[in-house]
Amino acid sequence: MMLKQKFIMDHNPSTGEIIEKIKISSPGEVASCVKLARKASKSWFAVPLKNRIALLRKIEKDIFKTKDLIARTISVEMGKPLKHSIAEVETVLNTIDVNIKLSEEAFNTSIHKDKNLITEVQRIPMGVIAVITPWNYPVDIPISFIIPALLAGNCVVFKPSEFTPLSGKHIYEIFNRHFPKGVVNIIQGAEEVGDMILASDIDMIAFVGSRDTGKRIFAECAGRVIRMILELGGKDPMIVLKDADLKKAAEYAVFGALKNCGQICTSVERIYVEDKVAHQFEKLVYDEIRKVKIGDAFDKIDVGPLANEQQRGIVLRQIEEARRKGARILHGGNKVEGRGYFIEPALIVDVSEKHDLMTEETFGPIVAIQRVRNAEDAIEKANRTRFGLGATIWTKNLKKAKEIAAELEAGMIGINKGVSGVKGTPWVGIKESGFGYHGSIDGLKQFTHPKKVSYKN
Ligand code: ADP
């Protein structure tokens, strides 16, 4: 089989310039990587957990030492403001630590007894795990799969996004410095190479990306009964009730919709605000969004460019459709002419379900607001989506907020805050946002299967 393309042209989205030409893995290289991982998997599982942990502590140290270089690579490749790239690397260090601390409990053999029998339930690694990830958190997302996979005793075949091959290469090189040959492997390329990995001798796939690709992976895995973790994005609602602290809610609306240029699965994608306070809320959001500075990832800015030209095209089309179908654009929403893939952060009101902006994942710097009659109306509209990742509720009435949370079809809900929770709790979605967890004991266990051995008491 011949590849359609031999190289990835890695771009800097702040300038549009090519940073580097990266070789795409050939079919032969994909096959030998998977073979190498298979060969290494038996001996890696035989390494005691405490020794696996010791190696991962070395990775942690190495990442800490090279924090600035990794952060700069993220910023140059996907346009994230440098301070946010540094924060991404800090999150990674935390992820490693949390996973290590939970691993003993997650993988412990449990012993069960009754009058006649003793049963040991062991946690056995899956074998070879393909980790396929997107560009929006090009270090954090891969690490949040690779670490638990390795702790559990699996070997990994990692394919970074074709838009962030250098961030992927950095991660791989750090593992390669410390780990036995074949335990962590890298494959570079896009869809075509992803398909080759899926068709290869893997035992499980851990994937974060678009719903369409996720469905394709689901179908492929179904045929061979391969285990999966799929995280397929979201369309997170933010519900603002009339008794909310409107200033705080407005600040969060802008922050939550624009962080990482809106390219986060849990970005605020739809805002439902009660009629009575809608005008006041929109005005506060307007004041807030006007303060946002956009520009090159390495300048003192709040929001960088879209990560690639294709993504900018999708977002501009959604804005144009909203405009055509009667939504009001109170601020921004235009393409910034010149270098890089920029859009002016937009505040769009009077949107509804007739606009893609409120139904399709946007992944762009847009605050979209729809007015609702009351909380019930907001819940009904918030649930009218295929997705079920996060949601936030803004009100001073905690009891009411918890009642709304119980009605919302989402895996993670924040009350007067974003969706993140206490360290070690899962990152989780429902409905077509996929299944499987990041982090937590549940998350670690997914990289193993239970095996029981019983004998007479
Ligand atoms: P995003 O828009 O977030 O990049 P994609 O689903 O297109 O979402 O890409 C996520 C990851 O999935 C990337 O690493 C991409 O190369 C990979 N990918 C795309 N198509 C396939 C496929 N058919 N099989 C396996 N991986 C794929």
Query: pLDDT per residue over 260-276, tens digit each?
Result: 999 999 999 999 999 99
Q: Is there a single domain that holds both residue 200 and residue 87? A: yes
Tokens coding 16: 């549009």
Percentage, residues of the chain above pLDDT 90: 98
How confident is the model at residue 169, as a pLDDT? 98
Q: Which residue's CA is the closest to the ligand 1 atom numbered 2?
A: 210
Active-site residue identified among 155, 265, 361, 432: 265
Percentage, residues of the chain above pLDDT 70: 100
Mean of pLDDT values over 331-337? 98
Q: Is there a single domain that holds both residue 21 and residue 57? A: yes
Evaluate: CB of 314 within 6 angstroms of ligand 1. no
Evaluate: CB of 213 within 6 angstroms of ligand 1. yes
Q: Is there a single domain that holds both residue 132 and residue 175? A: yes
Evaluate: CB of 198 within 6 angstroms of ligand 1. yes
**Ligand 1 centroid to residue 210 C-alpha, Å:** 7
CATH of residue 374's domain is: 3.40.309.10
Least confident of 135-139, 208-212, 380-384, 434-438: 434-438
Interaxial angle between packed helices 165-178 and 49-65, expressed in degrees from 0 to 180 and rounded to the nearest 10: 130
- Residue from 30, 34, 191, 310 to probe ligand 1 pocket by mutation (most atoms less than 8 Å from CB): 191
Q: Is there a single domain that holds both residue 370 and residue 448? A: no
288 is catalytic: no
**CA–CA dist 38, 126 (Å, integer):** 11
- Whether 392 is in a domain gets the answer yes
Q: Is there a single domain that holds both residue 201 and residue 257? A: no
**Ligand 1 centroid to residue 308 C-alpha, Å:** 14
Q: Is there a single domain that holds both residue 380 and residue 337? A: yes
Q: Is there a single domain that holds both residue 182 and residue 261? A: no
**Ligand 1 centroid to residue 165 C-alpha, Å:** 13
Could you list the residue range(s) of the whole structural domain that residue 47 is in? 7-232+433-456
Evaluate: CB of 159 within 6 angstroms of ligand 1. yes
What number of CA atoms fall less than 13 Å from residue 208's CA on the CB side? 29
- Residue from 131, 157, 161 to probe ligand 1 pocket by mutation (most atoms less than 8 Å from CB): 161
Q: Is there a single domain that holds both residue 445 and residue 410? A: no
**Ligand 1 centroid to residue 310 C-alpha, Å:** 14
Evaluate: CB of 233 within 6 angstroms of ligand 1. no
pTM comes to 0.97
Q: Is there a single domain that holds both residue 217 and residue 254? A: no
Q: Is there a single domain that holds both residue 28 and residue 140? A: yes
Residue 346 bridge partners (DSSP): 366
**CA–CA dist 155, 181 (Å, integer):** 10
Evaluate: CB of 284 within 6 angstroms of ligand 1. no
- Four-residue CA torsion sign, 103, 105, 111, 113: negative
**Ligand 1 centroid to residue 417 C-alpha, Å:** 30
Evaluate: CB of 190 within 6 angstroms of ligand 1. yes
Q: Is there a single domain that holds both residue 242 and residue 225? A: no
Please report the atom of ligand 1 found closest to the CA of residue 160: 14
261 is catalytic: no
- Whether 2 is in a domain gets the answer no
**CA torsion, ordered 175, 178, 180, 184, to nearest 10 deg:** 0
CATH of residue 64's domain is: 3.40.605.10
Mean of pLDDT values over 446-454? 98
How confident is the model at residue 4, as a pLDDT? 82
Q: Is there a single domain that holds both residue 356 and residue 389? A: yes
Number of domains into which the chain is organized: 2
How confident is the model at residue 82, as a pLDDT? 98
pLDDT in tens, 289-303: 999 999 999 999 999
Please report the atom of ligand 1 found closest to the CA of residue 136: 3
Active-site residue identified among 29, 77, 231, 274: 231
